[in-house]
Structure 1
Amino acid sequence: MKARVIEDELGRRRATSACSQPCPIENGMRMLGGKWTGSILWHLQFGPVRFNDLSRMIAAASKKMITERLRHLEAKGLVIREVVDTAPVSVEYSLTKQGRAALTVLDELRKWAEALDPEAVG
């Protein structure tokens, strides 16, 4: 059921009924809205990336935060984690088909952000 917004006699807006399920925007934000999530996906677009390389690419994020985001993305089916049998052992991350599909959204976000007034970003 879709929520309807009505105005009362004083001009206040309120919802008449709530949605029983999260809307598609909420679901999308749950997948992509976490801090550094978009940056991680963006940096994985050209192929597998080792954790330490990803960490250097996103220098402003702590390794702990990157690890948390990668675990979230892996749990949601957007990223694949692969242990590489090298000396020393390393871990690479790559995009799934669903993760690759998210790049379209991120590219539109990039275009929108580039068109913003820099002062508005603040």
Structure 2
Amino acid sequence: MIVRQNYTCPLELTHDMLKGKWKPIILWRLRLGPTSLSQLDKDINGITQKMLLQHLKELVEFGFVSKESYQGYPLRVEYFLTRNRGEKLLQALNIMQELGKEFMGN
């Protein structure tokens, strides 16, 4: 994703980093702990693996998510929220989750 050089406010920048249908869903799933690409693919209904990989790459670039590769065959990679940005963003996502529950009547 290309990030612009000029923004009118910090919220606009944050919005650009998180825009896309799946990024908040990926981050919300990662709140449960480190997980593999294949498990994310199973857990998030409707996302294509191509889109999942693209969004994970962008989330890693922005510092919301990190990944760890493990030696051995087959290659194993786990994705997890970063402490500084990823876990901090969970506060906002939790508020969004609660608002969604209210609108759904739960």
Scaled to the shorter chain, the TM-score interval is 0.7 to 0.9
Runs of 4+ more than 6 Å apart: none
Aligned residues: 99
Aligned residue runs from structure 1 range 1-122, under 5 A: 21-97=7-83, 98-116=85-103
**Higher fraction of helix:** 2
Q: Which residue of structure 2 aligns with residue 7 of structure 1?
A: none
Unaligned runs of 5+ in 2: 1-5
Unaligned runs of 5+ in 1: 1-19
Deviation for aligned residue 1:117: 5.5
CA distance in 2, matches of 1:22, 1:91: 37
Q: Matched residue of 1:111: which SS?
A: helix
Alpha-carbon RMSD: 1.6
Deviation for aligned residue 1:32: 1.9
TM-score norm. by structure 2 comes to: 0.84
Higher RCO, Cα 8 Å, sep 6+: 2
State percent identity of aligned pairs.
32
